[in-house]
Structure 1
């Protein structure tokens, strides 16, 4: 692969994001005057996506987390009704749609002719899918059974539909497709949340499947583990860890990514390292970076050479600040496992590497908006005329999320309790009757690539036929 043609070189790419190959789009950042709900409208009447939430983050300083969690050590938290103070104003279905923030990487993969080149961009997409979780220390609202969410982004060339297909265990299924029939991205997630005294561990069980239709390729993988530290005392912080194996079922190529745990001294905080191997298990590319910042690709021989030089001290590499390449920092160290390491926004860039992906800078006021990205800020917005097009099951219409978004915690708590009781009553009614509840937009099938059970989109949602959809709110 010619890195100067296929990707811009890391040595020069750090100074500029002008390359159209894998750079971010800034379409979600606007300069127009905001409306009262954070949305904006230009003088010519063209509506734009909002860049702020209607209300600021609600503080939890007067709320005793320990009073709730002390009885939950080692338990599965999805079965416990948690206070609304634990939440951020999004449904888990909306949180899933954040996988699509970096859809330009899928489009890039579709355009490449070489299978290994496609794999490394797919690997970057898999990493980018969890990047929005950085500093997002509150949980999304648990979807109600039958809840749905749609996301149509014509500017990014895709549409998505998701549905809560099971309540116990909680399972959320999603299906995204290219508007030009270039790709399909689908899967299901059954989040397992456990409290371990000082931390909450989230295991996102479920398979992601990306199909590049032009190349007749299918990739599958599972997401890494996620842990939120210092639940009771101290500054909350997040780490992702575990092995992610991406398989190209058409070529036999694999990408094995290791999301490294922080470790004793914090030197591996946020780091991701791995490699691509072909069907004969020959290493073709080494992938490295941080899931909170950027990912790079390099030839394995060059990587091993630089690694050997570093061990012998002949190549003293420094931590490179991706925002200011001339500035360097030492590796972060901490004394205790659960303390947040004082890491910098840095990746040690090896000369000769190609930049695959770089995270989008968050809004300057993100901390006042639950640490949302610009993309996340738009997800619960009701576009003009949208209410008459949405089914009554869409989570944009949930009154508890809407109340929290506007900063009314009393109303959000009351509505959350009302909806949970309404859902319990519906289950009792179904258990007493003869008619069983059934999913509307997805059905259980066997994944043709993994052989495991999976949820498949049945089609028809975007025909806008919702006359018999129940009003679950």
Structure 2
């Protein structure tokens, strides 16, 4: 599938501000947003997009050198957020008990996810290699904050990757994502924060710094970091942009290249006029930087990952990647196999995908109302919600609370699943 049934609805007709005035400083998960802010995917499908570059995990499995494995894992961690570039639509909040599965024979994995909590919203996922090479799992609790002109999404929760034949486990958390200009102007996305990937078996650590955009937009989308061993010796530098590509290079080569570039820069910066500096300082930080210069490659670098081009009509299709386009498709024969809680059956997402915005909006309201009624019913008889495929437990590597897959989903026994649609 390379396109959606209908192009997206224009967002320009909505007074965003009248809605958002109510939300300043609030936790957005408690506020019902109009459907025009959405894209026709559930958040469970959005986290499935981590798997788009599964070949990087497969590469890590095939490498005999642990530093090279860490490079592949680091590239995978960066590639997992790459699909967010220009994706300014908000995924639908999954209903409690909603599930999503994806089996990709050609990429060699299968994945299942479940919405395990509603307040706070927590999505748990578990992916495994079809040939037993790896397990990749985690739970994400997206904390959204509204700052007047921007919405910040902090994806709380740990991600764990186990490379089984190397007996290695890596854990990390994703960077913070921010959507700017939600009131006026062109929406744009920034990711920032430090991502630390720890190899629990060797003690190696990869520290990736997703840089905020900075003055003149020089740093937009930039990622820079290094891999160090357990005695803190730098083994290599990793750099690039999460929207484009990632490279690795020897630390000394990198440092000397940066020094010589800086000498060149100093000459230039002396000539910058006072007026230019003033203009930069007074510029509104929420404005989209114009700078679209790409990664300058240090000689002697190795390419770790390069982004795939988006489909030609992506901009009228919520800026979806080819991978995202296919996630909601019900292929022939699937209906009889999927769990009835799978988001492909969600009527509001389906209606939106088909371009029926009014129907989508009514359905979304109906589903949320149905969920509230079910919660009241449970409260009457003091019933706790019980999750089906994941149990709350402890991540053995980080020691923190996590949602652990309890197995059995692919046995296809779907009796007694909640009726959520």
Deviations 1:1-36 (A, max 9, x none): xxxxxxxxxxxxxxxxxxxxxxxxxxxxxxxxxxxx
Q: Does 1:349 align with 2:300?
A: no
2:329 aligns with: 381
1:458, distance to aligned residue in structure 2 (A): 0.3
2:99 aligns with: 148
Among residues 136, 139, 142, which one is paired with 2:90 in the alignment? 139
2:154 aligns with: 203
1:371, distance to aligned residue in structure 2 (A): 0.3
1:343, distance to aligned residue in structure 2 (A): 2.4
Deviations 1:356-391 (A, max 9, x none): 000010001001100000000000000101111111
> The residue matched to 1:370 in structure 2 has which SS?
coil
CA contact (8 A) 1:58 1:407 kept: yes
Q: Does 1:428 align with 2:388?
A: no
Among residues 166, 172, 180, which one is paired with 1:215 in the alignment? 166
2:385 aligns with: 437
Deviations 1:21-77 (A, max 9, x none): xxxxxxxxxxxxxxxxxxxxxxxxxxxxx1000010111111111111011011110
**Structure 2: distance between partners of 1:362 and 1:343:** 20
Among residues 241, 246, 255, which one is paired with 1:290 in the alignment? 241
In angstroms, what is the RMSD of aligned CA positions? 1.6
**Structure 2: distance between partners of 1:453 and 1:254:** 22
CA contact (8 A) 1:101 1:375 kept: yes
1:401 aligns with: 349
Q: Does 1:83 align with 2:31?
A: no
Gaps of at least 5 residues in structure 1 are 1-49, 318-331
Q: 1:265 to 1:440 in 2, by over 3 A?
A: same
TM-score, normalised with respect to structure 1: 0.85
1:371 aligns with: 319
1:315, distance to aligned residue in structure 2 (A): 12
Q: Does 1:176 align with 2:127?
A: yes
Q: Does 1:113 align with 2:64?
A: yes
1:413 aligns with: 361
* Structure with more helix by fraction: 2
Q: Does 1:94 align with 2:42?
A: no
Deviations 1:397-456 (A, max 9, x none): 000000000000000000000000000000000000143220000001111100001000
1:194, distance to aligned residue in structure 2 (A): 1.0
1:344, distance to aligned residue in structure 2 (A): 2.1
2:178 aligns with: 227
CA contact (8 A) 2:216 2:291 kept: no
461-470 vs 267-276, which moves further = 461-470
Among residues 267, 272, 276, which one is paired with 2:223 in the alignment? 272
> The residue matched to 1:350 in structure 2 has which SS?
coil
1:305, distance to aligned residue in structure 2 (A): 1.4
**Structure 2: distance between partners of 1:429 and 1:209:** 36
**Structure 2: distance between partners of 1:163 and 1:100:** 16
Provide the aligned length of Structure 1 versus Structure 2: 410
Q: 1:294 to 1:333 in 2, by over 3 A?
A: farther
**Structure 2: distance between partners of 1:315 and 1:361:** 35
**Structure 1: distance between partners of 2:202 and 2:87:** 36
1:314, distance to aligned residue in structure 2 (A): 10
CA contact (8 A) 1:176 1:186 kept: yes
Moved over 2 A (4+): 311-317, 332-336
> The residue matched to 1:71 in structure 2 has which SS?
helix
2:409 aligns with: 461
1:320 aligns with: none
Gaps of at least 5 residues in structure 2 are 269-279
Deviations 1:168-189 (A, max 9, x none): 0000000000000000000000
TM-score, normalised with respect to structure 2: 0.95
1:158, distance to aligned residue in structure 2 (A): 0.2
CA contact (8 A) 2:122 2:142 kept: yes
> The residue matched to 1:117 in structure 2 has which SS?
helix
**1:240-279 paired onto structure 2 within 5 Å:** 240-279=191-230
**Structure 1: distance between partners of 2:11 and 2:83:** 22
Deviations 1:84-143 (A, max 9, x none): 111000000000000000000000000000000000110000000000000000100000
Q: Does 1:103 align with 2:51?
A: no
**Structure 2: distance between partners of 1:141 and 1:309:** 48
